[in-house]
Amino acid sequence: MRNCDDVILRYTIGQQNTVTLSEFEESSKYRDFLWLAKMSVRSFQNWFPGARFVVLYNGHEFDQFIEFWEEMSPSLPLEVEYIDQTASLELGVYENPYSFYPVGVWWKWIPFRLDLNKHEIAVDTDILCLQEPRSWYEWLDGDASIVVAPDRFEVIKVNTCGDLYRHPVLRNKRPANCGIVGQRAGEDYGQRFFDITEQIRYGYTHDSLFITEQGAINLWIYSLELEGISHTILNFKNNAWLRDFLYFIHRNCRVETLHAVSWHKEIIREMSDVFENKIENPDYPMEDFKIDILKKSADLKDLHRYVLHKQLEPKFRGIEFYLV
């Protein structure tokens, strides 16, 4: 396993429109969200010994958040640092780098860099590390300046880049997913990102609240590429989505991380014991893990079961190009 004392893994946790921590007991959806976030941190702690783990929080009850977070399972074997982004902005520790007031996903990039001397990777809270992430280590030990997650689609469209999808720089490009965004030690391209965000019509389009942030990341990497600043898009079969990961495991691909985009998070929550077992026991063989998932899936709702089972059907199509 790689010594990762040159790495920071950072997560950003916010609050949803209608849920406050004071009503936490009633708000199972938010509890589920926090559980998955903590599972994500826990899973990466297995494979990043020595790394700094930082949780950036932009909700409004920081102390209560810490209390809930620490009480909740799973426990974390390594230390985690917590940063209250709201207070930091209020106290002037961080400046608002946007021309608009950041809400939701835009908080992820305040600050853009925590420590320039380390390889810094922002990881979304719905990504689990299932086994040694060799594809990540390759980037860490390679030359590319930036690393990003793969997206499931072949070409940039509105559903991958929101309001920026027609940008000429993005024409016919393969989309990256902003669930994982890393920069090499000594490099900081934040200013380019914030220059790009000047185009954002925050709040005036639906996509500006969500997917356009991913569009900004895509424009960021591809515009930097024009200047010779390279990026790596992680391999999709190694860094799979929940809707495909059984398909890849079944074909003996090495699924290292699992991204539960959108409502697929519910499936992980419903099978929490299987996933907790996998995270707590990194040596638990992937084949057994797959079998346990399939067994457990018998208890799922029809649609959730379908998402898993269809991956093993012979007619399952659409992602073969990633096997190449």
Partner 1 sequence: MSWSNKFYALEGDRVHNDPGDYLQSVFAKRGISFVHHYVALLTQMDRWGDLHPNGICLLDHRHWQYDDSVFCDYVHKVAESHPCVVRLADSPFVDDRPSGLSDSIYEQMLYNRIISAAKILRKESPQTTIISPSIEIADEATSSKQVNMFHRTSGVYDAYMMKCDIDGSDREIGILATLLNKVLKKRSLHTWVLWTISACDHEIPPIKIGDTPYRIQSSRKSSQRVKPIFNSMEIAAKGDTTWFFSGAGRDKYGSISSDIGCIEAAYDTGEWGPRHFMGLCDKDGCPKKKLINAFLGVVKSYEKL
CB of residue 96 vs partner 1: minimum separation in angstroms? 7
Q: Indicate whether 60 belongs to the interface with partner 1 (CB under 8 A).
A: yes
Q: Indicate whether 17 belongs to the interface with partner 1 (CB under 8 A).
A: yes
CB of residue 264 vs partner 1: minimum separation in angstroms? 22
Q: Of the two residues 197 and 239, which places its CB atom closer to partner 1 in the complex?
A: 197
d(CA 159, CA 114): 30
Q: Indicate whether 196 belongs to the interface with partner 1 (CB under 8 A).
A: no
Which of 3, 5, 23, 262 binds partner 1 (CB under 8 A)? It is 23
Q: Indicate whether 103 belongs to the interface with partner 1 (CB under 8 A).
A: yes
Q: Indicate whether 99 belongs to the interface with partner 1 (CB under 8 A).
A: yes
The string of DSSP letters for 220-232 reads HHHHHHTTT--EE
Q: Indicate whether 67 belongs to the interface with partner 1 (CB under 8 A).
A: no
Q: Which of residues 199-258 bind partner 1 (CB under 8 A)?
A: 201-204, 209
Report phi then psi at 54, rounded to 5: -125, 130
Distances (CA, A) of 2 to 49, 51, 124, 138, 233: 8, 10, 22, 10, 20
CA angle 278, 284, 316 (to 5 degrees): 70
Residues 6 or more apart whose Cβ sits within 8 Å of residue 324: none
Q: Which of residues 69-88 bind partner 1 (CB under 8 A)?
A: 86
| H or E stretch covering 128 | strand 127-129
CB of residue 90 vs partner 1: minimum separation in angstroms? 5
d(CA 190, CA 137): 23
Q: Indicate whether 162 belongs to the interface with partner 1 (CB under 8 A).
A: no
Contact residues: partner 1, CB under 8 A: 15, 17-20, 23, 60, 86, 89-90, 92, 96, 99-104, 201-204, 209
